[in-house]
Each structure stands twice: as C-alpha cells, then as structure tokens.
Amino acid sequence: MCNCDDNHGASPLLPVVGKVIKIVEETPDVKTFHVTSDEGKPFTPMPGQLGMVSLLPVGEAMFSVTTQGPDHLEFAIKKAGTLTGVLHEIEVGQAIGVRGPYGNGFPIDLFKGKDIVFIGGGIGLAPVRSMINYCVENRDNFGKLNIIYGARSPEDLCFKEDLFENWLKVRDTQVHVTVDKGDDNWKGNVGFVPAFLEEINPTPENTIALTCGPPIMIKFVLQSLAKMNFQPEQIVTTLEMRMKCGVGKCGRCNIGSKYVCLDGPVFTLAELNEMPSEY
Amino acid sequence: MNQQTARMREIARELLEKKEVEMVIGWEKGTFFYNSTPVFITKPEDADKLIWDDYCAVNFAKLLMDYRYLDGKVAVFVKGCDARGVNRLIQDLVIKREKIYLIGMPCPGMKDAKIAAKLGQEKEAEVPLEGKCLYCTHPNPVIYDVLIGDEVPVEIREDRFARIKEFEEKSSDEKAQFWASQYDRCIRCYACRNVCPACNCRSCVFDQNQDWLERAVDRSGNQFYGLVRAFHVAGRCIECGECERACPMGIPIMLLKHKISKDINELFGEYEAGLDPEGDLPLGMYKADDPDEFM
Amino acid sequence: MKSLSKANLPQFLEALNQSSQVYVPVVVDGTSRFIPWEQGAELVLDKNSNIPPKYLFFPQTEDLYGYKIYKQSGERTELPSAMEPFVVFGIRPCDVYSLEVLDDIFLTKGYEDVHYKQKREQGLLISLGCLEPEATCFCESWGLNPLNAPTADIMMLDGGDQFLLKAQTEAGQKVIDSQAGLLEEFQGEPPVGKPCTLTVETKGLMERLQPMFEHAVWDEISRKCINCGTCTYLCPTCYCFDVLNKTRGEEGIKYRCYDSCMYPEYTLMAGGHNPRPTKKERVRQRFLHKFQYIPERYEGQIGCVGCGRCIVKCPVNLDISRVITRLWEVEADV
Amino acid sequence: MQRMLEFVGIDPERFQARWVSGSESVKFATVIEELTEQIRPLGPNRKLRDGE
C-alpha cells in the first residue's frame, strides 16, 4: 500500500489541482471525467484504488479510478448527491482537485494465473473495469476472463464501447450483458444479474470472482456464487463507505477495527465474514 | 421507600402482567445519589428498579418518539413538565394519545444534580432546586390516565419573566457581549435540540447534509444555531428547562425561550404551551386583531 | 525534586509566558477550560477541566488550507501554521495519556497528520498529579497512575503550600533550570494520593466483546441515549472529524471540525444507504470503538482513559463505567 | 422578532420591519433606500461576526 505522497511534510489532505480534459457521457446519470494536471497524471493508482476528487467550493468525495492513460486518470461518477450533481454540470477545462491513490486496490497476486469472473451492476462496473483493463494490458498473467454485467435499462449500460467492442477483441474473453428491463431494439438478455449469473454458471475451479454493485445485487450474487460452490476466499468485492479524509484518520469509514479507505475498499468474502456486518 | 415508589412499582407490575402495555418507562437509580436515570421495563419482575426521589429531572417525552411505531402501548411516568412534553408531541402529531398510558406524578420540584454533586450526600439538605423547577407553573400533570398520590400545591417560586425584565434593562452592547461570551462556549453537541420535546422534526435544518449552518464552531455560527432554534420552538416551547439542564457548557438557553414566551404573552395574550393538545397555537393561526406594529 | 511555593506560582507562570505561550485551566462562565495565562487569572487546580486539553492539540475547528474557487483555474494555498512553542500547565495524567492514544492514531499507520504533529512537538506538558481523584474518575482501572504521567515533561504534585516538580524530559529540565531562581531543593517525602473510588474490570474486555456484536444488551444500553454529541466532544480520546469548506466570495478555507458517531448523518451515504440507521448501532459503535477496535487496531492501546467527563456531563446519565460492568454481567451468547 | 433582536443586543436602529407585498415594487425600493441611508452612518455592524 503506497503512502508516498509527493508533498512530503505537507498535509496528506492537500490536493493536486488538475484539469478536466474530457467528459464522456456514459448514461443519462453517469459521466466519465478524464483528469490530468500540469505535471501529467496526478498519481499512478493500482486497479481498484481510489482518488479523492474535490471541486471547491462544493466539496470532495472518494471515487474509484475506473481506468487510466499514460498521463490522465478517469473517474466514472454517477449523479447521486450535491457534489456529483455539480460535477455533472461542469465543462471541459474545469479545474478540479485530486489526491490519492487511496485504498488497497485489488490483490493482483490472488488473480495471477487464474480464470476471473467479473460481475458488475450499474455504476459498480467502474472499479471492476480498472481490473479488467489491467488484465487486458497484462493478458498473459491471467486465465480466461468472463465479464457479466447488468444495468437497469440499455441506456443505463456504462462503458458501452468496451462492452460491445474493445473487450470482445480480447483473447479468451466472454462478455455477457443483461438489463432489468429491455426496450424494443434490445436483443440481449433481460433479467437480473444474479439469475443471469446462474444461467452462465461459471465453474469455480481455479477461478476468482470479482463483484461490485448495489448492495441488493451483491446480497443475491453472493448467494448464487455460494450455490455454485465458490469458496469465500475466491470472492472479492469492493465496498462503498462514506469516506472523508481518505488517509485513515477521521474515523468515519470503519467496519469494526478496519478502515475501508486504508485496509479496504477491496475485501475477500472470507475477510468480510470476519468483520461485523455493518456496511 | 416513599409510597410513590411503592405505588409506581405496583402499577408497572400490573400493567406488564396484564399485558396492557409492552413497556414502562420510568426512573431508576443511576451511578450516584444525585443520578436518577431513565429505565425501560418490559418484564414485570424488573418493576422493582423503579424509584421516585428528588433527582428525577429527566424528561422522557422525547424518548417516546422511538416507540411511535411499536404496535403495543407504552406506559410512562410523567411529572408536570413531562406531561406538557407529551402534549407537545400529541399536538405536533408525532405520537398518538391512545398509544401511551400516562401515570401522573405530582412533582414537589427536583433538586439540582450538579450542585448536589459538588456538595456531596452529607450536605444534601442544602441542595437547591433545579433552575427549571423554580419557575414551574404546572407541577401537577395536566394529562394522565392515573395519578399517584394527590396534587401538590402550586406555589410559584420565581416569576419566569423576572430574569427577562432584568436582562432587558441592559444596554445593547452589554447584551451583545453577554450572548457572545455565552455562545462562544457552545460546542455544538446538539444536546439542547435532542432533549427538546418541541424539536421533533423528521429532518432538522441543522442536519449536516443541509448546508444552512456551517459546522465550523465559531461565534456567529453558534449564535445562529441558538437563535434559530429559539425561533423554531416559539409558541410551542413548554418551558420544561431540559435544554438548559442538558447543556454541558451551562449556557442559559431558557433566557431566550422565556423572552419569546414573554413576547407572545404580550402580543397574542396569555398562553402556556402544552396544556391542551386541542387548543390553537398562538403562532399557528391568524386572528384579525393580531397586533402588527410594523404595518 | 524541586519545590515551588504556591505564592510564587504567578511569577513562575509569568516568567514561562515570556518565552512560550502558557495555557492554564480557568473557569470561564461556569465551565473550566485551558486558556492563555494572564496576570491574576484564577486557576482551578482542585479538579480536572471540563474541556479536555486535547482541544489545544486537536482543536474543535481547524483550518487545513485556503483555496480560490475552482473555475478554469483553481488554486489552493497552504496556510501558514507555524506553531510557536506553548506550555500546558496543570494537565492531568489521564489527559497526558490521552495524547499518547491520539499519537498512535494521528502519527502512525502510513500517514501523519501534520497539524496535530506540529502542536505535539511544540507543546510542553507540566502535569499535575491527582491526590484526590473525583468520584467519576476511574483511570486506575485502565492501568494509569493518577500521581504520575511518565511522558509529561514535568511531573508536579501538590505538597500543601508548595508544588513539588520533577523534570522527566530534557525540555522539562530546561524549564526547571531556567526558573532556578524561584525553585528550591526538596528533600522530604512526596505526598501520597488516594486511589480512585470508581473501579471497573477492563482486563480482557476486548476479547470479551469480540463475539458480542449482535448481542441484545446493546438494545438495552442504547435506549436512554438521546444521541447528542456531548460525550464524544468532551472525550479526550475521541478523534473523529469531518472535512468541510467555508467559502466567502471567491475564496474559501478547507477546514476540519469534530464529528460524532452519535449523529445519524455520520455514516449516511449518497443514495440514502446508512449502515448505522438507529441509535443502537451508533451507541454500540462508540463503546466498541473504545473497548475493542482501538485495542485491536493499535496493538493493545486503550481507547478510554477513565477521566469521567462523559459520566459528569451526560444529560441522561448513560454511565460508561456501568456499561462496562453491564457488558461483563450478561452471558456472552444471548 | 424585533424584540428578540434587541434582546440579543442588536442596536434597535439597525433593523426595521416593513410589510411590503410582492407587487408594491416602488414601496420596496423606497423602503430599502431609506433603510440603507439610516444604517450607513452607523458604520459596520461588529456583532454576530465570524469569531471576532
């Protein structure tokens, strides 16, 4: 877990002031913001790590870095509150504060050489995508990739370009997409992710499942995975908690004695079972 | 053990045995002789925890809000101020009268726990009454299902507006300085709001996710909080004095509340909140002959 | 061991005040707190302060950095917070230890809180031992000694008409040497203090609590709590804070201020999900954080120093020492 | 409310209450101008300021 922040001695809460160079509208309520700074990429996160995005005078909040380029970071942000509401109104060129990377990120060694089942729901695909793209860039380190993703409706599907083009070109990679409610020109599967997962029925042999989505979906996905006898150590998820400082000091994001912003947000189900169920 | 305590335990045991109520809320002995603290009894055999002594100052009305969705009834012991607190919640449509069983306790006035702690048990006789009991006008509960013991004589120990008139004589700079130094000490713990039966809004203007009040603790923010809360309970404040008793920093909050009550009495006629849940609220309705000095 | 006659105390403080700002416990409008020393200030030295000295190291509201509103360009400016040296006179051993607990939290685990660190480095502690702990004190139950704060710079005891001073660090020794004129040698026996009257069993409390997350006792304990912030804001070991900003026109200040796990919005997330929706979870979090999570996360560190401020000031007398007793009484697996 | 502002030490000449309906735009303008003229000589209001 890297804690080297470039401004040694200065407060870890001090952001780097960067700039939004591109805004992609994924869905009516999700936009992806490409952020860079004068010195290029503000920080280099591992897959699953978070960044604290601040837009003053409104406020700051923690978001997963969905993917990154050589000199920019991408944050996929759903409109859900005051800050995210304002973020959805800004234009390219807007100054934006960023600090990080925070959190432990996905345990890469656990995935090495294994087949991986990615199960995402709605905006939950954002953190999962950082791992998918990492696997695509280091394809040989990993086994078969099986991406299962669902959203409320076809227009709510995030990262359509990846889903229907880029990821299909990757070796040994299947992409299964479902929606809760289809519309007239939707040809794909219609149904909830947990049921869809059981239809696809990936084998637990030498496989790691990585899931992230709304709490209700996670509850049933975990049940389905158990039915397909995935062991708790084979299931990895990333939690959303209210985080304020991002450096394990403000005491807010604790689950038991663990701080989600430092010891998380990524936990295996085995670890979660040890922790009090208060998340 | 005084006979009120005995009677309290009897009634509680009966109510619970006959399953007329799911829970009985009363006082039990706390850590020290000057602590009588709320207790929630659900089993008849626990009724013997109940006590009635000179330190039962805690007002339960606000705690009833946690049980408004309980399917059964809740019994609660009410002094004069507690009963007005219950009326406050009924009138604000927060709890329903038929869901609570009220056991009235005529109140001789409670002793000041903070001073009792200083003086110690030997000098207990010298402990004065709580500030809020000095100006109490209704020691006998105004609403109850059953009354324990007979009513106590109503003797006004201190006119509740005396302090106000005295304070009004000061110059505006003195007043400003007084309130500045008082609210400089506020640590924004919101005990005064959380203990107040009149503060029963579902979501409060001072909750964090509404940016009306900055959480930075400074003089203007604290005064904004104190004053706005005084205005929000204007005409509904039952003057139970719990806010002043609960304040860890000893800020004289009741001065603000009594000032507003005095103004309401002068502008809209004699009125004491929480006496009759059906009556009109002075600031809740409009009369043609309402004064309008600023027209 | 040196001795300082009580008559010379004002002189002693005035002399110290020349080189570094001295803070002393004084009653301000009925509540005692640590404020800058002034000639003629009337110190309260018979019992602990209502506001803990933690406020000097971790203030209730503290500015972090300034900023200009982010438009096409945005700016944030580090605020000059060069902290001059200061002296805390009359801090009690339990509060000195509470700073050690905060050191673990603010200065370890990969990140250092620079604001707290600066104040900690600049602060010199002259601790006054408690000859007669108050009825609400139970520091001894946590293994602390009311007469001695090992990490204080100077340890002081009340010897009747004089104070007995013992330097415990170089900085402390320097202060003693600089005030040699006012001090005399003391040969006699230091006074003996009384033990705490309030005691609770704290050994093994962490292990005891680990299986009790779903225990029904939490319902019973939390019922009378009114979820105000009094206990958390007066506690010397509570450290939770919120990070916010206040804007005035084009510029603003990013600041942090105390926050309390007792408030419902503490864990409320965008989209409405709240892992601690009711009073029970919040009251449970407060006690588990002190008795289990801090010891678990910081290898046996304690989360409560038994100062008793929350016992004194809780509007409904939810007494932390009785909670501990209750947690031992109930059978573990109900 | 006027009495309360006085009670917490705001100088009485610093505030006034007027009844102006939304449609009385002329009266609204004159009332504001009047008030500003009266207040300006009193200088800035020191009270209820941030942390002074």
B294: pLDDT strictly greater than 70: no
Alpha-carbon distance of C96 to C150, in angstroms, equals 9
Residue of D9, D18, D52 with shortest CB distance to B294: D18
pLDDT in tens, B138-197: 999 999 999 998 898 888 788 889 889 999 999 988 999 999 999 999 999 999 999 999
> What residue has token string 């020492």?
C321
The token pair that represents B35 in the structure block = 């602590």
C290: pLDDT strictly greater than 60: yes
Alpha-carbon distance of B227 to B204, in angstroms, equals 15
C-beta separation of C176 from C183 below 8 A = yes
Say yes or no for a CB contact (<8 Å) between A247 and C292.
no
Which residues of B fall within a CB distance of 8 Å from C255?
216
Q: What is the mean pLDDT of residues B259-264?
A: 91
C-beta separation of A34 from A59 below 8 A = no
Which residues of D fall within a CB distance of 8 Å from B231?
1, 4
B248: pLDDT strictly greater than 80: yes
A105-132: buried (b, 16+ CB within 10 Å) or exposed (e) per residue?
Answer: bbbbeebeebbbbbbbbbbbbbbbbbbb
pLDDT in tens, A153-165: 999 999 999 999 9
Strand partners, B40: B25
Under the banding of pLDDT at 50, 70 and 90, the label for residue A81 is: confident
Q: What is the mean pLDDT of residues B63-87?
A: 92
Helical H segments across chain A, by residue range: 82-87, 108-111, 125-137, 160-164, 193-200, 215-227, 269-274
pLDDT in tens, C55-78: 999 999 998 888 888 777 777 777
pLDDT in tens, C123-159: 999 999 999 999 999 999 999 999 999 999 999 999 8
Partners for A (CB, 8 Å, 3+ pairs)?
A: C
Alpha-carbon distance of C128 to C92, in angstroms, equals 5
Contacts of B184 (CB under 8 A, 6+ apart): B219, B222
pLDDT confidence of residue B1 = 67
Question: Which residue in chain B is spatially nearest to C62 when comparing CA positions?
Answer: B216
D and B touch per CB criterion (3+ pairs under 8 A): yes
Q: Is C328 at the interface with chain A, CB within 8 A?
A: no
B263: pLDDT strictly greater than 60: yes
pLDDT confidence of residue C116 = 93
pLDDT in tens, D1-40: 788 888 988 888 888 888 888 899 999 999 999 988 988 8
Domain segments of chain C as ranges: 2-329
> At B193, is the secondary structure helix, strand, or coil?
helix
**Averaged pLDDT score across all residues of chain A:** 90
pLDDT confidence of residue A2 = 38
C-beta separation of A146 from A200 below 8 A = yes
| Selected residues 19-38 of chain B with any CB under 8 Å from a CB in chain D | none
Considering only CA atoms, which of A66, A72, A57, A77 is closest in space to residue A18?
A72
pLDDT confidence of residue C314 = 95
Which residues of C fall within a CB distance of 8 Å from A240?
269, 273
Under the banding of pLDDT at 50, 70 and 90, the label for residue A45 is: very high
Which residues of A fall within a CB distance of 8 Å from C73?
17, 95
Under the banding of pLDDT at 50, 70 and 90, the label for residue A7 is: very low
Total beta-carbon pairs less than 8 A apart between chain A and chain C:
137
Say yes or no for a CB contact (<8 Å) between B220 and D48.
yes
Under the banding of pLDDT at 50, 70 and 90, the label for residue A3 is: very low
Sequence-ordered strand ranges (E) for chain B? 23-29, 36-41, 74-78, 100-104, 146-147
C-beta separation of B104 from B146 below 8 A = yes
pLDDT in tens, A217-235: 998 999 999 999 999 999 9
B276: pLDDT strictly greater than 80: yes
C36: pLDDT strictly greater than 80: yes
Domain segments of chain B as ranges: 3-147, 162-268
**Averaged pLDDT score across all residues of chain B:** 90
pLDDT confidence of residue C77 = 79
Q: Which letter does DSSP use for residue C148 in this model? A: B
Walk across the sheet containing B36-41 and list its strands. Answer: B36-41, B23-29, B74-78, B100-104, B146-147
ipTM: 0.89
B295: pLDDT strictly greater than 70: no
A1: pLDDT strictly greater than 60: no
Say yes or no for a CB contact (<8 Å) between B172 and D2.
no
C-beta separation of A262 from A248 below 8 A = yes
Under the banding of pLDDT at 50, 70 and 90, the label for residue B231 is: very high
Residue of A57, A60, A258 with shortest CB distance to C69: A57
Residue of B31, B63, B66 with shortest CB distance to C311: B31
Q: Is C265 at the interface with chain B, CB within 8 A?
A: yes
Q: What is the mean pLDDT of residues A8-24?
A: 84
D and A touch per CB criterion (3+ pairs under 8 A): no
- Long-range CB pairs of C113-119, under 8 A, 24+ apart, other chains included: C113/A11, C113/A12, C113/A249, C114/A9, C114/A10, C114/A11, C114/A12, C115/A11, C115/C62, C115/C64, C115/C81, C116/C57, C116/C58, C118/C81, C118/C83, C119/C56, C119/C57, C119/C58, C119/C83
C-beta separation of C4 from C178 below 8 A = no
Alpha-carbon distance of B213 to B205, in angstroms, equals 8
The token pair that represents A15 in the structure block = 């952001």
How much of chain A, in percent, has pLDDT values that exceed 70? 96
The β-bridge relationship of strands A207-212 and A235-238 is parallel
The token pair that represents B145 in the structure block = 């299902």
Q: What's CA A266's distance to the chain center, in Å?
A: 10
Task: Give the Å distances, CA to CA, from B51 to B3, B6, B24, C318.
Answer: 10, 8, 13, 17
Q: What's CA C92's distance to the chain center, in Å?
A: 10
Contacts of A172 (CB under 8 A, 6+ apart): A143, A144, A145
How much of chain C, in percent, has pLDDT values that exceed 70? 98
Q: Is C287 at the interface with chain A, CB within 8 A?
A: no
Under the banding of pLDDT at 50, 70 and 90, the label for residue C81 is: low
HSE (CB half, 13 Å, CA atoms) of C167? Answer: 15
Domain A4-102 has CATH 2.60.120.380: no
How much of chain A, in percent, has pLDDT values that exceed 90? 71
Q: Cβ atoms within 10 A of the Cβ of C170, count?
A: 9
pLDDT in tens, C175-194: 999 998 889 998 888 899 99
The β-bridge relationship of strands B100-104 and B74-78 is parallel
Under the banding of pLDDT at 50, 70 and 90, the label for residue A212 is: very high
The token pair that represents C172 in the structure block = 């402390």
Domain segments of chain A as ranges: 4-102, 108-238
Say yes or no for a CB contact (<8 Å) between C259 and A11.
no
Q: Is C30 at the interface with chain A, CB within 8 A?
A: no
Alpha-carbon distance of C322 to C318, in angstroms, equals 8
Q: Cβ atoms within 10 A of the Cβ of B152, count?
A: 14
Amino acid letter for position C244: L
In CATH terms, the fold of domain A108-238 is Rossmann fold (3.40.50)
> What residue has token string 């416990």?
C25
pLDDT confidence of residue A145 = 93
Question: Which residue in chain A is spatially nearest to C263 when comparing CA positions?
Answer: A252
